[in-house]
Amino acid sequence: MIEVLTLFVPGRPRTKGSLTPMVTPGTGRVRLTDSDDSKHWRRVVTAAVRKERERIGQYGPRPMLHRRVPVALALTFLVPGDPIDHEMGDLDKFERNVLDALSGCDDTCGRFCGKHAGLYADDAQVIKLLSEKMGPRADVGVVIQAWRADQ
């Protein structure tokens, strides 16, 4: 495996899927949406990964690892409290948020959608995933390591 990216993203890790009921103006319908904390964290991760891609000269409109490349990831989430406390969040939901942030834009995205960092094109490319939750830590965030799994 060849390492393609390693970075630390500071900020408290947030889960994807902690849905909040929202009333749609006009129709009055209730729909479920990700919490603002969750969306904000995802944008922080996206911005940090894009910046790192720029730093290593791998930033562009296309995903860094194209659709046919298998990817391995190691994610270490540093949380502010005891990692087994319910309030710290579920590990698989932390994973979901970061995996989505690392994927590429699709046809429905704007040019700078802020939700996709484009490390790879599609979450399906991730064939290996090792993740860990650690705490309590003052330096909260996530360490992301990515490898091409085909070389």
Q: Which residues contact 89 (CB under 8 A, 6 or more apart)?
A: 13, 14, 15, 18, 79, 133
| Binding test (CB under 5 A) with Zn ion, winner from 9, 73, 105, 117 | 105
| Binding test (CB under 5 A) with Zn ion, winner from 109, 124, 130, 134 | 109
Kindly indicate which of the ranges 12-20, 27-35, 103-111, 138-146 contains the residues binding Zn ion, using the contact rule CB under 5 A: 103-111
DSSP 130: E
Sign of CA dihedral 119, 124, 127, 133: positive
Kindly indicate which of the ranges 4-12, 29-37, 42-50, 113-121 contains the residues binding Zn ion, using the contact rule CB under 5 A: 113-121
Cα separation of 71 and 94, whole Å? 18
Q: What is the smallest separation between the CB atom of 5 and Zn ion, expressed in angstroms?
A: 18
Does residue 14 bind Zn ion (CB under 5 A)?
Answer: no
